[in-house]
Chain A
Amino acid sequence: MVDRRQTVAVTFDGVDAEGVVGESVLECARRNGVTIPSLCFLEGLSVWGGCRICVVEVAEDHRLRPACATQVVPDMEIKIETPRLRAYRKSILELLFAEGNHVCAVCVSNGKCELQDMAVHCGMDHVRYDYRSPLREIDASHPKYVFDPNRCILCTRCVRVCDEIEGAHVWDVSYRGEQALLVTEMNKPWGESLSCTWCGKCVAVCPTGSLAYQGRAIGEMEHDPVMIKRLAVARSRNEWLYPEESK
């Protein structure tokens, strides 16, 4: 299937793998069945490179590179499970937990949350930083969906999917640094938005319980981010995949 002339040899933690010229380290790893933890990356959307969970080491280079935004090159020696990277991922997760108000016990996505799964995967069992406990208001003005900024990790998947796949660009990030917050239109309640099409793709891609359907109780919210890959494939290649084919 893969054109031999366009392939490059790479190694993941010493194991040989085959990369295709132009693809990212993360795509290459997934195609070869190698796990590189990631959060903001979603197949079918543009690369954001914001969460830094997917950072890898390349050979003896001291620089850490985001796997989602680094292209494979011939004879690349990619390291994923080093003590340094494990520690790095852990502290990024701890910072994410300390930054917002992530209380799993009362969250609609408890048990079905990518952030929670990532914390389990990386062995993050406590947070060494002080919780910031910011005051953020929940927006439940939309008839179908709820936005809880307390659970938002600013991965911008919703911003990208609304802009790139739905084409509405209802969401964007306002302010910066610790004040950064998602907004709909001119910081108006979501329910008053004129551009929202109610398509629910932002809800489907949310990695946490930040975007959810109305009326869901604790642990009842299940997201469907793989849906976006199907839509992206249909759009770019005119191939309509069935859910079980696009995993």
Chain B
Amino acid sequence: MSDTMRSVAGASNRQQGDHPSGDNRFDLVDKHLKRGRYAQDQLIETLHVAQDVFGFLSEDILVYVARALKLPPSMVYGVATFYELFTFDPPGDHSCTVCTGTACFVKGADEIVASVSNTYNVPAGKTAEDNSLTLKTARCLGSCSLAPVVVFDGDVLSHQTSESTVSLVGAALGGDA
């Protein structure tokens, strides 16, 4: 943690691609911070960028952002935990998000969640032990006419059933093996 903290102080006089933390991914976060002129109201955007870069928000990253924006750590933690979109665990190789909003629920989204969860042994909201799949639920993606909606590895899929989702996930997981 101390390495990443120190890097904020040294951010001004160093070469690109040679981040003091030893992790050059912080360069991408720094770039965003600089573009926003280290404005404190850039917190949420910065967290989004950090999550895009690292895949999840670790404590180190939250401390890094808090120090860069000169915000109290508890505030950064509070904001990050408030929003469902931020995740604090490393994601699996594939991600499957099932919408459990009202329309999707009525059309059987809970069955999709249950069957994917049982078939691949992943509790909803968690990542499989072998890190192959993350199963998430979301509350309404705003495309209720497409219900039930599943987002698999970033692709939005409409009118899904338990069978179609399970076979889709199976194909992706099998393809890696």
Tell whether A169 pairs with B75 under 8 Å between CB atoms, given A174-B81, A174-B82, A175-B82: yes
Contact B63 A186 (CB under 8 A): yes
Complex contacts, A35 vs chain B, CB 8 Å = none
Q: Which residues of chain B are near A176, meaning CB under 8 Å?
A: 81-82
A173 interface residue per 8 A CB criterion: yes
- Given A172-B77, A186-B62, A186-B63, the answer on whether A195 and B82 have CB atoms closer than 8 Å is no
Tell me which of A173, A175, A185 contacts B73 (CB under 8 A).
Answer: A185
Check B174 for interface membership: any CB of A closer than 8 A.
no
- Asked if A213 is an interface residue, CB under 8 A from chain B, the answer is no
* C-alpha gap A97/B76 in the complex (Å): 29
Contacts of A171 in B (CB 8 A): 74
Name the prevailing secondary structure of the A interface residues.
Answer: loop
> A55–B107 Cα gap in the complex (Å)?
40
Whether A184 is near chain B, meaning CB under 8 Å from some CB there, is yes
Chain A residue with minimal CB distance to B75? A172
- Docked-complex contact B78 and A173, CB < 8 angstroms: yes
Measured CA separation A186–B73 after assembly (Å): 6
Most buried by B among A169, A171, A172, A183: A172
B82 touches A169 (CB 8 A): no
| A residues less than 8 Å from B73 (CB atoms) | 185-186, 195
Residue of B nearest to A159 (CB): B74
**B62-101: which have CB < 8 Å to A?**
62-63, 66, 72-78, 81-82
Closest to B78 in A: A172
Determine whether the beta carbon of B72 is less than 8 Å from that of A174.
no
B111 is an interface residue with CB less than 8 A from chain A: no
Q: How far is the CA of A186 from the CA of B75 in the complex (A)?
A: 9
Cβ distance B56 to chain A, nearest Cβ, rounded Å: 15
- Judge if A68 is at the interface, Cβ distance under 8 Å: no
Q: B72–A170 contact, CB under 8 A?
A: yes
Taking a contact as CB atoms closer than 8 A, the residue among B62, B63, B74, B81 that contacts A169 in the complex is B74
What CA separation (Å) do A175 and B78 show in the bound complex? 6
Which has the most chain A C-beta neighbours within 10 Å: B62, B66, B72, B82?
A: B72
Residue contacts A-B, CB under 8 angstroms, 8 given: A169-B74, A175-B82, A176-B82, A183-B78, A184-B74, A185-B74, A186-B63, A186-B73
